[in-house]
Structure 1
């Protein structure tokens, strides 16, 4: 299996996604957009596309952020979906998936920064990719917005501050507004970048010291469990692929 990451900023990296890939001996590649690297070609040989977060939103213009081209990324996402690849978006990435499918993002009822519980919906409890999840789980957050919903998408989890925390767009395409990939060592640069967010008290913004004290092991494992099931579904979907297709046996 080959995983490709779209990375918008140096301070929002793959986190546990990369740890999970390494544990399975999957190969990885990345487009570091903040360095001006080009987006993958239409026929790029990946099995899973992961679009990470960033301070932008889908309407941020190239003039406002020269290394972020929302429409170009949406085209990459649509192409991956049309090629029946697995696609996971996190935060901004989830919003870009919705936009790519003609579902406009929205402002979340509350900004959330820190670790707060999400609750699975009935559909979430029934989704086999979330089989190891409890009805309520404590996960990471760092957002002001939330992904749009298509006619056929399904909300799998919500929180007190945001009603669209996990969205299933298709059996191979998921959006996570929450951040299960956070690892403790990765967070200081993100905290430093968003210092102004901590200046005004809000109900769902925790202090940096509280955020840094949290152990993310449980939510990282939940992300790994989800990804394992997603790759099994992807492999099953491609069992009849012609020789030379990018799908390969899943390593356990």
Structure 2
């Protein structure tokens, strides 16, 4: 459905769009989910799309090793940026957006996994996606890589562990490192799938805090993803 379709690139079964997908469907957007772990192809360009979403995954945005679709995803993101098609990259997707826009993705100084605060910057106050949100949010982090932003990017959020937690490139392309999209089922799926990164007490703590933390983020997720869905028209 040309012009009203949002393409979703999904790298792992557990790394689905969750609340983001629900917001897009509520806004009447048709979703074209490309499950790269099943071999679904990634389109060569964004000419028929009203939005592009790239989800997370355990691969590295800076290496083709174990990441067969990386080159195609970067080409799609570059084309979407050129056409001003709205883009939202989450975790790995944010790292790919940084690379596609002239920045880079790099190994971090350690894993950032679990519930933790992000602080919105002054630039976020006037941002079309993050404007008017509380300046401090408790979100779920699950990454070990980070990004170096291109010079033209707007820096929107940081955490104590990593400076670049959210950014915007151009007028309508965002990268979000934290997982605002996860509902309780998604959190549980992450804890099961990536148990080696959240062993023992850490995994138990993530699960125990999930009901309260997910509920507290529900309004924020609705605002952020609703705004993005409105742009995809």
TM-score (norm 2): 0.88
CA contact (8 A) 1:184 1:214 kept: no
2: distance between equivalents of 1:18 and 1:231? 9
**Structure 2 vs 1, CA of residues 194 and 184 (structure 1 numbering), >3 Å: closer, same or farther?**
same
SS in structure 2 of the partner of residue 105 of structure 1:
strand
SS of the equivalent of 2:142 reads strand
Tell me how many residue pairs correspond in the alignment. Answer: 230
Q: Which residue of 2 aligns with 1:26?
A: 29
Counterpart in 1 of 2:167?
Answer: 167
Gaps of 5+ in 2: none
Specify the alignment match of 1:228 in structure 2. 226
Instruction: Identify the residue that residue 140 of structure 2 maps to in structure 1.
Output: 140
Q: Which runs of 5+ in 1 are unaligned?
A: 236-246, 248-252
Task: Give the secondary-structure state (helix, strand or coil) at the position aligned to 1:133.
Answer: coil
Tell me the equivalent position of 1:250: none
Q: CA deviation at 1:146?
A: 1.7
The 3 A distance-change label for structure 1 pair 230 and 173 is same
CA gap 1:201/1:99 in 2 versus in 1, 3 angstroms: farther
Deviation at 1:43, TM superposition (A): 4.9
**Among candidates 8, 13, 19, match of residue 10 of structure 1:** 13
Greater Rg over alpha carbons, structure? 1
- Deviation, 1:206, is 7.0
8 A contact 2:42–2:69 mirrored in 1? no
Specify whether residues 109 and 201 from structure 1 end up closer, same or farther in structure 2 by C-alpha distance, changes over 3 A only.
farther
Task: Kindly provide the CA deviation profile for residues 39-97 of structure 1, in whole angstroms up to 9, marking residues without a partner as x.
Answer: 12425522110000000011332xx42x5332221001101111210001000000001
Residue 212 of structure 1: CA displacement? 3.7
Partners of 1:200 and 1:98 lie apart in 2 by 33
Please give the residue correspondences for 1:173-192 in structure 2 after superposition, counting only pairs within 5 Å: 173-192=173-192
8 A Cα contact 1:89 1:95, kept in partner: yes
Alpha-carbon spacing, 1:192–1:201, altered in 2? closer, same or farther (3 Å): closer
Partner in structure 2 of residue 118 of structure 1: 118
Name the structure 1 match of 2:71.
Answer: 71
* Offset of residue 100 of structure 1: 0.9
Deviating beyond 4 angstroms after TM superposition, the runs of 4 or more aligned structure 1 residues are: none
Which sits farther off after the overlay, 146-155 or 91-100? Answer: 146-155
Matches of 1:112 and 1:174 in 2, distance apart?
A: 20
Query: After alignment, is 152-161 or 214-223 more displaced?
Result: 214-223
Please, what is the CA RMSD of the aligned residues?
A: 2.3
Match of 1:241 in 2: none
> Per-residue deviation at 1:218?
3.6
Scaled by the length of structure 1, the TM-score of the pair is: 0.82
Q: Report the CA distance between 1:139 and its aligned residue.
A: 1.4
Check whether the contact 2:44–2:72 (CA below 8 A) recurs between aligned residues: no
Distance in 2 between the 1:222 and 1:212 partners? 15
